[in-house]
């Protein structure tokens, strides 16, 4: 019989690449022919020269099968992500968002004077109590301020500090980048601005703080262990931070919410690097996502130490693997170890990851896509697209946040500490320099053990 190619290799596409050839006593022949022989059928002629033909055909079939699987998968992937987004999106509304908690909070404890007893306030319609007013000092010469009409005056240096809409403007213009004359009475939001904020609240977020709510619960417990009516300073408190709404709803805590901007929650305007309060005024201080905005953040930490009472609690959050968010006013990022080191004068209570690697990855993808466009409308559309398609990634951080490797790629970190119990006398040096840094270096808790170049 003349040597023939396998008939099925030439006329059918059902040949499986897993049977492309077999070694027999007759030599290498087509695997399909072996199977037909075993079944007793004689549809195919004998073939000893079909090896190369069968091999090429089966490889082509394998390529076709991969293509048949991969192409539909790649075409369906965007629709799958959009469908997943539409499926998971409603779940985030089962737990009240921070914006919804704000509305709930306003119904319990308002942000305007009418929600507090009038006898608690001194100058006009101030948003801080008389007790806090008595603790105010001049940001220039550190002498106690005195109220005069609708303003505060320093009798030592003669500086005048106005009160706008019940908010004292305590800025030292000689050392701060901010100017008192740049502040004006806040105006009601326009309809366009309200619509913009409402639309922003409807969009899903790609950020998730996995530690704030738990840490603020612990913060609250420690405050009440220290005082039955604690006073807390929030640095950068123009708007409520992530996870803070439940803490703000506690009526037994007196909050002083300071910022350099006047917004819905601002009760006092000051520079975080020069806090206008007497020593040992507060039982707790919160500085959430503020340090990286400050050129002299070490001075701010020293100020926090000064205004905290002995045993007072400090809670800080700061970004690590996060892109620029503050434009020209965005200066620093901290690893967890670096974050702990900045607060080395405090007794550490806890520290860890506040935003995980998945959140950092979502931010990176968003900023990668934003790098291709410059038009403002296109950038806004890109953000909306990223929010709707990438928000689900943040939920992976619920699994990753407590793993050691998350420390090396975290979007942000937190530190909670306590001011040492002993009070500092005037003869003692500033607390930042109280002890050598070598005794306060925190331990590294990640998994990177070799030179960073090994990961590039």
pLDDT in tens, 89-103: 555 444 444 444 444
pLDDT at 56: 55
Domains, the chain, ordered by start: 1-94 (no CATH), 97-115+185-455 (3.40.50.150)
pLDDT at 26: 46
Query: What is the length of the chain?
Result: 456
Q: Are 214 and 247 in contact (CB under 8 A)?
A: no
Q: Which of the four pLDDT bands, split at 50, 70 and 90, describes residue 117? A: very low
Q: Which residues pair with 319 in a beta bridge?
A: 412
pLDDT at 445: 80
428-448 mean pLDDT? 56
Long-range contacts of 27-33 (CB under 8 A, 24+ apart): 30/6, 30/54, 32/6, 32/8, 33/6
Helices (H), 308-374: 336-342, 357-370
Q: Which of the four pLDDT bands, split at 50, 70 and 90, describes residue 21? A: very low
Mind giving me the DSSP string for 137-154?
A: B-TTT-PBPEEETTEEE-
Taking the model in full, what pTM does it have?
Answer: 0.71
Q: Is pLDDT of 298 > 90?
A: yes
Question: Distance between CA 237 and CA 269 in Å, rounded?
Answer: 10
Q: Is pLDDT of 53 > 70?
A: no
Parallel/antiparallel/unpaired status of strands 308-319 and 167-170: unpaired
Parallel/antiparallel/unpaired status of strands 27-29 and 22-24: antiparallel
Across 27-31, 173-177, 443-447, the highest mean pLDDT is recorded for 173-177
Q: Is pLDDT of 182 > 60?
A: yes
Q: Are 308 and 226 in contact (CB under 8 A)?
A: no
Enter the tokens of residue 319: 């970004």
Q: Which of 74-88, 128-142, 208-222, 348-362 shows the lowest mean pLDDT across its residues?
A: 74-88
Q: Are 232 and 413 in contact (CB under 8 A)?
A: no
Q: Which residues pair with 256 in a beta bridge?
A: 233
Q: Are 6 and 33 in contact (CB under 8 A)?
A: yes
Mind giving me the DSSP string for 382-420?
A: HHHHHHHHHGGGGGGHHHHTTSGGGGGS-SEEEEEEE--
Calculate the alpha carbon distances from 327 to 292, 324, 331, 357, 425 in Å.
Answer: 11, 6, 9, 23, 40
Q: Which residues pair with 28 in a beta bridge?
A: 23
Kind plus residue range of the DSSP H or E element containing 380? helix 376-390
Kindly report the number of other CB atoms within 10 A of residue 395's CB atom. 16
Mind giving me the DSSP string for 197-264?
A: HHHHHHS--S---SSHHHHHHHHHHHHHHH-SS-EEEEET-SSPPTT-HHHHT-TTSEEEEEESS--T
Q: What angle do CA 31, 34, 36 make, to 5 degrees?
A: 115
Q: Is pLDDT of 3 > 50?
A: no
pLDDT digits (tens, 9 = 90+) for 236-256: 999 898 999 889 999 999 999
pLDDT at 54: 53
pLDDT digits (tens, 9 = 90+) for 386-410: 999 999 999 999 999 889 899 999 9
320-347 mean pLDDT? 94
pLDDT at 443: 80
Cα atoms found within 13 Å of the Cα of residue 358, Cβ hemisphere only = 20
Name the 3-class secondary structure at 103.
Answer: helix
Calculate the alpha carbon distances from 130 to 121, 267, 362 in Å.
Answer: 5, 13, 46
Q: What does the longest C-alpha to C-alpha distance in the chain come to?
A: 120
Higher-confidence residue: 188 or 281? Answer: 281
Q: Which of 40-44, 274-278, 370-374 shows the lowest mean pLDDT across its residues?
A: 40-44
Q: Is pLDDT of 450 > 90?
A: no
pLDDT at 181: 86
185 φ, ψ (degrees, to nearest 5): -60, 130
Q: Are 135 and 281 in contact (CB under 8 A)?
A: yes
Q: Is pLDDT of 124 > 90?
A: no
pLDDT at 55: 53
Higher-confidence residue: 190 or 43? Answer: 190
């Amino acid at each position: 019989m003349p040597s023939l190619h396998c008939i099925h290799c030439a006329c059918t596409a059902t040949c499986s690449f897993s049977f492309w050839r077999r070694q027999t006593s007759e030599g290498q022949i087509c695997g399909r022919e072996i199977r037909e022989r075993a079944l007793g059928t004689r549809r195919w002629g004998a073939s000893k020269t079909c090896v190369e033909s069968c091999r090429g055909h089966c490889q082509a079939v394998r390529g076709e099968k991969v293509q048949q699987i991969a192409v539909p998968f790649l075409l369906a992937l965007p629709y799958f992500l959009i469908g997943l987004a539409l499926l998971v999106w409603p779940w985030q509304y089962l737990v009240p968002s921070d914006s919804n908690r704000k509305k709930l909070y306003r119904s319990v404890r308002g942000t305007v004077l009418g929600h507090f007893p009038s006898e608690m306030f001194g100058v006009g319609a101030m948003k801080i109590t008389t007790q806090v007013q008595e603790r105010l000092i001049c940001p220039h010469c550190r002498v106690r301020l005195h109220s005069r009409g609708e303003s505060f005056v320093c009798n030592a240096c003669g500086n005048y500090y106005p009160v706008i809409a019940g908010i004292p403007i305590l800025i030292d213009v000689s050392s701060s980048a901010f100017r008192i004359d740049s502040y004006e009475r806040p105006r009601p939001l326009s309809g366009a601005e309200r619509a913009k904020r409402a639309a922003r609240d409807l969009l899903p977020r790609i950020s998730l703080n996995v530690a704030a709510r738990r840490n603020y619960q612990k913060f609250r417990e420690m405050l009440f262990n220290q005082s039955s009516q604690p006073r807390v300073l929030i640095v950068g408190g123009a708007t409520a931070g992530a996870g803070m709404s439940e803490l703000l709803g506690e009526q037994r805590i007196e909050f002083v919410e300071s910022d350099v901007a006047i917004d819905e929650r601002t009760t006092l305007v000051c520079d975080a690097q020069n806090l206008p309060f007497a020593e040992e005024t507060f039982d707790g201080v919160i500085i959430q996502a503020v340090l990286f905005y400050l050129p002299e953040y070490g001075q701010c930490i020293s100020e926090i130490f000064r205004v905290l009472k002995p045993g007072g609690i400090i809670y800080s959050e700061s970004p690590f693997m996060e892109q620029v968010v503050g434009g020209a006013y965005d200066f620093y990022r901290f690893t967890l170890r670096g974050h702990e080191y900045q607060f080395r004068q405090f007794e550490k209570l806890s520290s860890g990851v506040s935003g995980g690697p998945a959140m950092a990855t979502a931010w990176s993808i968003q900023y990668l896509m934003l790098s291709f466009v410059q038009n403002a409308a296109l950038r806004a559309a890109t953000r909306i697209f990223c929010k709707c398609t990438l928000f689900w990634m943040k939920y992976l951080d619920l699994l990753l946040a407590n793993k050691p490797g998350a420390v090396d790629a975290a979007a942000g970190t937190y530190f909670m500490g306590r001011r040492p119990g002993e009070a500092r006398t005037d003869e003692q040096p500033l607390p930042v320099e109280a002890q050598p840094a070598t005794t306060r270096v925190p331990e590294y808790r990640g998994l990177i053990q070799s030179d960073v170049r090994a990961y590039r």
